[in-house]
Chain A
Amino acid sequence: MNFDFSPEEEEFRDEVQVFLAENLPPPAERSPGFIIDWWKAVREKRWVGFSWPREFGGGGGTLIQQFILKEEMLKHKAPALGRDYTGLGWVGPAIIQFGNEEQKKRYLPDILDSKSAWCTGYSEPAVGSDLASLQCKAVRDGDTYIVTGQKIWISLAHVGTGIYTMVRTDFEGSKFDGISCLLIPLDTSGIEVRPIRSFAGDSFSDLYNEVFFNEVRVPVENRIGKEGEGWQIICSALQNERSGIAEVNRHHQALERLIELAGRSRIAGRPALENHEMRRRLSAFDARIEAARLNGLRTLTQQLRGEPTSSAASINKLHNCNLLVAMSETAMELLGGASPYIGDSEASIDGGRWQVGALGWPTTVIGGGTANIQKNIIAERMLGLPKD
């Protein structure tokens, strides 16, 4: 057990700090055009796609370097390293692992240069947690697939350039073996994008969409991997560091704001910070956040040793869900009579910012697999209980 960094790792941290001092103005001084310069500067540093191999334009960063880079970026409230979150996160890595040379040349530079904006087409109206049952179909017709079906919960499809789509190319045999992966430009004829309105109101409008495919023709050359290899692509992931440091950082900031709110709130007519139950709850959030941070460091260590980390993601997700909901609800409780009011009005407190979290938690808690699914994964894979 050792929580220190090596001299080489500290040297890299210094390099990042020097760069940030020169290239990252404080949040208040960032001009509207700043983001373009920022993306260019970090791209030149090869920090965009930092975990990707250098031969594909990435930075070839080690796991620990990825962690340090992320930690410093978060500490200095730096914006994202590129526009294409999905492309950098998993579409690019899938292309690197399963794509051919032509596909790597065609797609990877645009992801790194913030020219593309990929969306992910996994879920369907009848297919949520049981993803392998997906039904959106692709029928081969010479050099093209004809895609027909519907995808749902597609983040940012209305502003995206393409959709990374899992389709069914084979309806016989095992459901896992009939899935293939297609890269489909969103301006292809036959695609219709319709926004989904969530109950969370304005802050979350324009986030999710339904995408309809009506006999959309997709060239076979847009298929990543072999026909039927889609499930392996879904289950794979390049060696991105999986410490969950970004979530932990968000929780840290949320707890600080929550304690600040508690400092000016009252419970049953008395200062909230004199309430023992409230104090214990706030401190228990602190413990859970710190546990999530340290769990993340242990996961990173497992990754460094090449050990499997399959349950770590589920454990992190459960902590994230638990913290997000519990801290939002605690804020509501502290707001008391002001809690039912949304938006900025004389009835609300802090411009209604707390209500945004109190309504928006499903994006995190349900997105990417519900808490119940995570518990099944832990019970079956880690504890060896029988499959449902």
Chain B
Amino acid sequence: METPSGCSEELWREMAELGWLGLTIPEAYGGAGLGWVDLVILLEETGRSLYPSPLISNTLAVTAILEVGSDEQKQRWLPGLVDGSRIGSLALLEEGDGIDPAETRLSAVADGEDFLLSGQKRLVTDPDAAGVFVVSFRCSDAPKDLGLAVIDADSPGVQAKSFPMIDATKRMGHLDLDGVRVGRDRLLGSPGSAGPAITRLIDQGAVAVTSEMVGAVEEAIRITVQYANDRIQFGSPIGRFQAVKHPLAEMHVDLESFKSLLYYAAWAVASEPESLSRSASLAKAYATDAFVRTGLDSISLHGAVGFTVESDIQLYFKRSKWARPMFGDAAAHYERALALRGV
């Protein structure tokens, strides 16, 4: 866990061999050829175990290249990201916590055939481990004039920084670009038309993060139920008391509910793309509030022992703090879902 990526090179290679790094990538590019519904199952498990690795970062980077890139670009980047030799990350969001691509400020200035990219990205996962970043940028002041580019971490002008985290199992930080030269062969899709693709990637990011939240909340409830059954006070397991039972029942209701919302969103990725934004927003918003509540209540139900560093439950409480802003917090997603209703 102390490595830049959070997991050892050996484990990362093993994940690659198991096909996890390219789960949703066609076999032609070295992937397993499965879908997002299958990815949910894998991410539920990495969430349940709080498995530290750049899996989500890499998955989203390859998704961007797969969905927006040309065949030549897919051949160029996907095999190396799927076999574990390089790690990818996605850098879309900026200061201000918005999830509307129109808020992108990182700018591209044409310089001959190339573009020069300058600006700051926030909430960038695995900044130290990533060798490749997929970055969104703005071509002009027109709100929808947006593009996507693949840049190497070691290009001149690229600075990736990670910072200490509440949740030590996750790596995150900033990506600052200062006049980074990007050739046309590194642009995904044609510049100026990437808005819908960026929105879809944010939706997919929300789906991926929410999948890990399902596993994490399930495990937090399991741990707390176990404790409530084992801990004896007033002559009986505390789980017999309704003051303990009822918050746990509410956690279960919320879990099953955001799980349903998530499954629909994961299905929509391939089968109903027009409703992905709405379903991803409802899932991420509901899950975010529910996970935060579960984190707080499960610590409370553990009593003083929950405050110790030895208790497993504190790890899940901390994970809820990581998950809250990722690919949009509850406020942003509830607002977007309402706006999508035309309100």
Question: Which residues of A does B touch, CB under 8 Å?
Answer: 1-4, 259, 263, 273, 276, 279-280, 282-284, 286-288, 290-292, 294-295, 297-298, 311, 315, 318-319, 372, 374-376, 378-380, 382-388
Contacts and interface: CB of A to CB of B under 8 A. Distances in A.
B338 interface: yes
B239 to A, nearest CB: 4
B282 A287 contact: yes
Contacts, number: 127
Nearest to A378: B249
B85 interface: no
B262 to A, nearest CB: 9
Nearest to A384: B225
A258 to B, nearest CB: 11
A382 B271 CA distance: 32
Contacts of A288: 257, 286
A152 to B, nearest CB: 25
Q: Tell me if B's interface is mostly helix, strand, loop or mixed.
A: helix
Contacts of B334: 279-280, 283-284, 287
Contact of A294 (B225, B228, B264): B264
B237 interface: yes
Sorted from nearest, which 6 A-B pairs have the closest CB atoms? A294-B260, A291-B257, A283-B334, A379-B245, A375-B249, A385-B239
A259 B256 contact: no
Nearest to A280: B334
Contacts of A291: 257-258, 260-261, 282, 286
B133 to A, nearest CB: 31
A279 B335 contact: yes
A319 B249 contact: no
Contacts of A388: 240, 242, 245
A2 to B, nearest CB: 7
B221 interface: yes
A374 B249 CA distance: 9
Q: Quick one: which of A1, A2, A273, A292 has the most chain B CB within 10 A? A: A1
A259 B342 CA distance: 11
Interface of B: 37, 221, 225, 228-229, 236-237, 239-240, 242, 244-246, 248-250, 252-253, 256-258, 260-261, 263-264, 266-267, 271-272, 279, 282, 285-286, 289, 330-331, 334-335, 337-338, 341, 343
A196 B116 CA distance: 77
Nearest to A281: B334
A287 B285 contact: yes
A280 B343 contact: no
Contacts of B245: 375-376, 379-380, 385, 388
6 contacts: A4-B271, A287-B285, A294-B263, A315-B257, A378-B253, A379-B249
A144 to B, nearest CB: 43
B259 to A, nearest CB: 8
A275 to B, nearest CB: 12
Nearest to B285: A287
Contacts of B256: 295, 298, 315
Given A291-B258, A375-B242, 9 more contacts: A3-B264, A3-B267, A279-B338, A282-B343, A294-B260, A298-B260, A372-B242, A372-B246, A386-B239
Nearest to B260: A294
A279 B343 contact: yes
A280 B285 CA distance: 10
Contacts of B266: 1
Contacts of B221: 383
A364 to B, nearest CB: 17
Nearest to A322: B253
A319 B257 contact: yes
Nearest to A4: B271
B25 to A, nearest CB: 20
B286 A384 contact: no
Contacts of A259: 341, 343
B267 A1 contact: yes
Contact of A295 (B236, B257, B343): B257
A385 B229 contact: yes
Contacts of A376: 242, 245-246, 249
Nearest to A298: B260
A276 B236 CA distance: 45
A387 B229 CA distance: 11
Contacts of B331: 276, 280
A287 B246 contact: no
A163 to B, nearest CB: 33
A279 B335 CA distance: 7
Given A4-B271, A283-B337, A298-B260, A315 B253 contact: yes
B338 A283 contact: yes
Given A291-B257, A291-B286, A385 B248 contact: yes
Nearest to B224: A383
Contacts of A384: 225, 229
Contacts of B263: 1, 294, 298
Contact of A387 (B240, B272, B337): B240
Contact of B267 (A2, A295, A385): A2
A175 to B, nearest CB: 21
A276 B334 CA distance: 10
A378 B343 contact: no
Contacts of B343: 259, 263, 273, 279, 282
Contacts of B258: 291
A295 B252 CA distance: 12
Contacts of A295: 256-257, 260
A383 B245 CA distance: 9
A284 B244 CA distance: 26
Nearest to B335: A279
Q: Quick one: which of B271, B331, B343 has the most chain A CB within 10 A? A: B343
Contacts of A379: 239, 245-246, 248-249, 252
B237 A386 contact: yes
